[in-house]
Structure 1
Amino acid sequence: MSNLPPLNTETIWAIINDTIDDTTVNQLVWYYLGYRYDSASNKWDTSQVIPEWRDEYPEPTNFLDSRPATMKLTRSIPQENKQILKEKLGFKGYKIGEFGPRQTRRATAANWLLSYMQLTTGKIE
């Protein structure tokens, strides 16, 4: 996970536009949730993960395959940031017939990451 792209609007758009692979999308969310892989012990270090995530997911989950995990991610976005993709980036959503669960889950990951960016830095770059 050391080669993750920077958390910025370019990366968010790359998630939405499907130019970043699914593994990297998951790794970004894992990283900002606090999951760290300890290669010495071959185990996940969850000491930085908040209990509500760590207890349910002692190892990071695949957000693009797991509806329950994606729903939990959606619920963890503060109300004021639920529409942050639309409000800050002008994302209009996907066109009907051109998206499925995978794209919806990628948009959820992008929305969560953008919200995280707003909450931790106070700005969207």
Structure 2
Amino acid sequence: MQTIDVPAGTHQLDRATHVRVDHSRLGGAAPLDAGQVLVLRDRDGVLRFAAVDRLEFSATETTYLLQLGHLTDAATVARLAGTVVPLPRRADRAVVRHEVADVVAALRALAAEPERLLAPGHR
């Protein structure tokens, strides 16, 4: 699961539902796809899940509108890294059965340990 650093603090992100991130901030990483789940690290070092909600294009830049999700911690991110399968490069391709099964397995793992859903200091 890809981790992206954003130039905003925890307090700012706690009050927001979305954040815009330019592709140029990703340091040469592969493009993101609509629906792709990733992890954001804010300037305070706090981790949270996010999903690519929309892509916006200009002549020189691709900008991702990321929907902010729940706070998480490094251990959870590491545990899910091998479980969650990123969406395929073609966002218009139908989701196949094994991808749904991977997402269900990840959600079941989280449901089995609800205390892991909260970041340190928020338990």
TM-score range, shorter chain: under 0.3
What TM-score do the two structures reach when normalised by structure 2?
Answer: 0.26
**Which structure is higher in strand share?**
2
Structure with higher RCO (Cα < 8 A, 6+ apart): 1
Answer 1 or 2: which has greater helix percent: 1
